[in-house]
Amino acid sequence: MSDEQPETIRSTGLGRGPGGRHYLPADDVTALLRSYARAWADHAVQIEEGCAREDAELDPRTLRALASVLERQADDMEVQFIVQRSEDGPPSA
Strand partners of residue 14: 9
pLDDT tens string 8-29: 445 567 888 888 888 888 888 9
Q: What is the pTM for the complete model shown?
A: 0.70
Q: Which region holds residue 35: left if phi is over 0, alpha if psi is between -120 and 50, else beta?
A: alpha
- Identity at 55, one-letter amino acid code: D
How do residues 27-84 score in pLDDT, each as one tens digit?
Answer: 889 999 999 999 999 999 998 898 877 776 788 999 999 999 999 999 999 999 999 8
